[in-house]
Structures are given as C-alpha cells and as structure tokens.
Amino acid sequence: MTRLLFLVILFFATLAEAAPLWMDFDSSGGTRVTVKGRVKSPILDTAVRELALHYDGDVTIDLKSDKSLGRDGFAISETPGGITITASKPQGALYGAYRLLRNVKAGYPAASGRSVPAYGLRILNHWDNLDGTVERGYAGKSLWKWEELPATVSPRYEEYARACASVGINAAVLNNVNASSRILSAEYLEKVAALADVMRPYGIAVCLSVNFASPVQLDSLPTADPLDPAVARWWKRKADEIYRLVPDFGGFLVKANSEGQPGPMDYGRTHAEGANMLARALKPHGGIVMWRAFVYSPLDEDRAKQAYLEFQPLDGAFDPNVIVQIKNGPIDFQPREPYSPLFGAMPSTPQMVEFQITQEYLGHANHLAYLAPMWTEFYDYVAPESIVASSGVANIGDSECLTGNPMAQANWFAFGELSWDPHATPAEIADEWLRLSVYRRDAAPDAAVHDALMSMMLDSREAVVDYMMPMGLHHIFAFGHHYGPEPWCDVPGARADWLPRYYHRADSAGLGFDRSPSGSDAVGQYPEPLRSRLSSIETCPEEFLLWFHHVPWDYTMPSGMTMWEQLCASYQRGVDKVAGFQRVWDMAEPVVIPGLYADVRGRLMTQMRDAEWWRDACLLYFSQYSGRPIPLDIPRPVHTLDDMRAVNLGITNFESPAPQLLNKAR
C-alpha cells in the first residue's frame, strides 16, 4: 500500500468515529421495569438492563403464553401504568425493548402494536478468515481477534451483538464460506465458545462455515466420502464436542463443490447425500445445515442455469434440518439480477435467500448504495412465505463505524428489518435509519431536507446500476477485486465465465447475453407467465433486457431512442444522480453529525469520479462495436480508451482506491 493511500484510508477511518450506530440511545431519567412471569434468562436480563438505562418512564414486561407471538414476537401497548411489552419468550421481550427504544429516539409513537417476524432464522454470514482478513470486506480487518481469544474478549463483540439484536438478527456465521478446517480444531472451538458467551445474552446463536474435507485435513482420515461410516462418525464426534462447549450452537454453513472447494461430488455423491450426513450429526442437538446452492462448473452451459440444473432434481432428497441457501440472483450479487429461478422450484425443500450486504459489486466502501430497494425487488418476484429464512453476507469489520462507510450501516439495519418483515418498504426503513443515525441532536431537519435525504437514499442503488451496468448488463468489472470498469478484461488462462466478454457479448450486431429460447434458454427455468414475458424482446422489462437478449444497436426502445442511445442516456443518468446526491448532502450539512458529514462528502466526491470513469470507459468501449458516436448531449470523455485500458487500479480485497490515486491514474 502506498503511503498516500494509507493516509487517505486513515483519514476516512478517523472521520467515521463521529458516526455512532443507530442504538446511541439517551440515558434514562429514572425507569422502573417490572417483569411479570419472570424466568431465569440472560436475554431477559439484557432487555431489563437496556430499558432501565435508556427509557424514561415505567415499563412492564409481561411474559405469558401466547402462541401467536411465537418465540420472537412481541406487542407494545400503552396502559395506565406506562408501557407494557408482552411476549411469550425472553427473546420477544428483548426485541420489544429495542423496538420501544428505537420508537422513542426516532420520534415515533412509543406503542406500536404487535410484531412477529416472518422468519425464525435471520442470520449474518461473515466471510472472515482466521488470519484476520475478510473476503469481500471493506471495513478493515476482521472484528474477531482470533489471536487474542479466548483470553481477551473485545468490548466491540458486545457492541456488535447489541446492534444485531436491535434489528432482530438472531444468528451469525463467524467465518468464511471458503472455510479453513482449523476452525473445528479444539483450539479454535474454545475461541468460538468465548464469542458465543458474548452473543448469548442478545439472543444470537453462533454458527460455523465448515470445510467438507475437515476429517482428512484435521485428522488424516483417508476420505471425506459422506457415505463412509468412519466419516459420519467423525462428524458426529465433532458435533458432540461443539455442543459441549456451545450448547446453543446454531449449525453449519457449507460451500461444497464450488470454486474449488471440496464436497460430496468429489466421491460421486450428491449434494443431498453430503448435506444429510452432516445434518444427522447435528440433529440430536437441534442444529441445522445451511447448504449453499452457489455452484458453477467450467462448462459451456450458461452459468446462470447451473444452480437450477444441479439442485432442482434433488428436491425432496434433503433431510428436514437442511436448508438450501440460494443467492437472490442466478449469477453472483450483481448490482441488478433477476431472481434465481431455483426459488419456488423446490417445493419440498426448505430454502433460504442469501443477500449480499457488503458492497462487493457496488463500489465497496466508497459508494452510497442503499440496498433495501434491491432486496424488496427480489420480494416482488419471490413470495416471502415461500422461503423459511433470510441470510446476508455481512459488511462488518474492525473500522471505527464497523462498516467502513458509515452510510453502509443503513444496509445492516435494513437487512435486519427486512428479515423481520419482508413487506416493510425501503422508505419506511430509510426514514427510521436517518432519524436514528444521521441527524445532530441539536438540529432537527425540516421536512424539505429530510425528504431530499430520503430521495437520495432511495435512488442511490439505482444510480449505481445506471452508471455501472444499466439495462441488464452484468459482470463487467475489473478482474478479481470487482471495483472499477473493465469490459475489455482478458486474463490469460482465466475461465471464460470469469471474464466480462462471456456476459456482455458485444459485437457489431448488438449487445447482451441471449438467454431466450433461441439462445441458452435460461428463461425456460422460470415459471409462466414470467417465462413468456422474459422470452420476448418486446415484453422483457428494460432493466433485464441485456440479461436475457442480444439486442441490436438500433433496436427501438419504448422511449423512442435506439438501444445504443438508451444505453448512453442510462450511463449519463447515473452520473447526474450522483451529482444530485452531492448537492443534497451539502444542503443537509447544518443538521448532519459533523464528522459524518465530512466523511460522506469525501466519499461522494470519489463516487462522482468513479461514475464518470464508468460512463466514459463503457461508452468508449462499446462504441467500438456499435459503430455509433456518443450522443452530443453527453459530456465528452477526457481520456482515450487506450488510456483507461492501461490503468491498473491495484486494489486488493482490503483497500479501495482514494480520489488522489484515481486522479494520478488518469
């Protein structure tokens, strides 16, 4: 890392200290908390403590049997004696306590009625490695200091657990899906137990990603074949060992036979046979297996089809305590994807959606991208009740604000809210988060400023789509780090489906991947009537047009523009939106926490440069194939395509380019 880049990152990290998490509640003026039906529970103790410290008034927690509230549900009502939180279990009391505190801080009515989560499992997946690095992490190094545990337990672990519980998250996978088998060693299980002790009072179950070849790698078994009795016994003993240390352990997350990871198919076995072997080891303890459906192999088959082809025939073959975890889209967390057709195609198999909270393909920690609209777009197509759980790849590290970019806290918050209630609107969530997290205590915004910030949040993800990959373009990032534009990327020896040309397929005739019935027929995996709608270039939604069709450059769009003109206008629209965000943020300066204002202002400058970079690089590149000029109403590029192709941003998984570095590159 250059000294200049280090200083810029340090500057941003220092500013982020002034951006507290949303649970920065006021101290209590004198609260009396009464508990009816008290049970001995560290979770209940947490609820009582939080109310005593931060609520001003009398509160009664009424624990009584009410099956309609389930384990986690609650009701908040006003009574002559103050506020009553009703719950069946301590978990519900804790979530009700946080809901009450959030209501008060946001200026909402204290009593908010009944609330029951849609999903019993609402889980964060940490892609943290045992050496402290974080795969696709943009918030510093890992929050978990494995080298210090179990002797030293950082207070930040409790800060994290408290934040998760305040938005209803109730489980966490501590380590990377590209798992090291060492996590299952006796040494590391003691460290896991120490973290579980911190999480337990906040109702959070710890889980682990496991390497399928752990019996071979840890104990030198000759095989990891799931049908070998010795392998099954190894996993049973390991499960028993884990539950002796962590009685409320949640279960295993498994990435198998994907991107070089070992799995049951190495032994001629199916995903179901591998998952079921692990599930049977966990079943006596109440644990689950989350088996990832993110698979693709180096075949000529369309990568977007492969998860469906591999998993749909296995419907009904998985044990009851196996949940198949499926990314929201069929490729890989792109700025926009259609939903994965595997959802709904396995009615006899529990399914879990996997969202990406960390901004791997959305500008890392530099760009503003509020992701609730992306996730609710998924629920526009997939009925929430058709899945059983919600998971998100965490955007959390050891940076001062925990998320690198303080505005990215909104995505952690929104993930929790939508995992609780998939019918919540992005606007409702953004309204509360802004009120909890952004405004100075001594300077409330007027309606015009608040509305402008709301619009900025709600438009931000669409802006990123516009200046990166509009109209269904996808996966045209720079190789490896997935930050800047590189539609021309060609890495010798790389697999075809790791390179942008596999996806954009630009030629003199047009642009886009033909997944219609006359192409790869990926549309055939979708149910009717959506299948027919996507199959026709005339009826395919514009936002997915280049995902499903190779479209002629002169094809007339509904706007009356040609496809090429519409593409150019979309890139410019994204740039214009970011310029608008800068104006809104400057207007809001008097009411925004000062350190937060300065931090985000600098990031928006970087985002503006990046947006222009994306527009110029992509339009110059694709104009070679279209044979058409960039329209005159779009600013002229200030660099040649050769200049931009020569730039090596030099980004790793752990750094993002600073404005000065980009300027130097230009």
Count of helices and strands (H, E) across the chain = 20, 15
3-state DSSP assignment of residue 81: coil
3-state DSSP assignment of residue 542: helix
Strand 251-254 to 205-210 pairing: parallel
Single-letter amino acid, residue 252? F
225, 360, 398, 612: the catalytic one is 360
Q: Is 360 a catalytic residue?
A: yes
- Give the CA distances from residue 38 to residues 34, 62, 77, 114, 613, in Å, rounded to whole numbers and listed in that order: 9, 8, 19, 21, 60
Q: How far is it, in rounded angstroms, from Cα 577 to Cα 170?
A: 36
> Is the separation of the CB atoms in 205 and 122 below 8 Å?
no
Q: How far is it, in rounded angstroms, from Cα 650 to Cα 12?
A: 19
> Is the separation of the CB atoms in 123 and 389 below 8 Å?
yes
| Cα distance from N-terminal residue to C-terminal residue, the chain | 19
Residue whose entry in the numeric block shows the structure tokens 């007027």? 446
Q: Is 259 a catalytic residue?
A: yes
CB atoms within 10 A of CB 421: 17
Neighbouring-strand partners of residue 477: 485
3-state DSSP assignment of residue 263: coil
Give the single-character DSSP code of 533: H
> Is the separation of the CB atoms in 649 and 609 below 8 Å?
no
Residue among 604, 542, 609 at smallest CA distance from 369: 604
147, 148, 219, 259: the catalytic one is 259
Single-letter amino acid, residue 58? D
Strand 82-87 to 58-63 pairing: parallel
Q: How far is it, in rounded angstroms, from Cα 522 to Cα 508?
A: 24
Q: Is 432 a catalytic residue?
A: no
Which residues are the active-site residues? Answer: 259, 332, 360
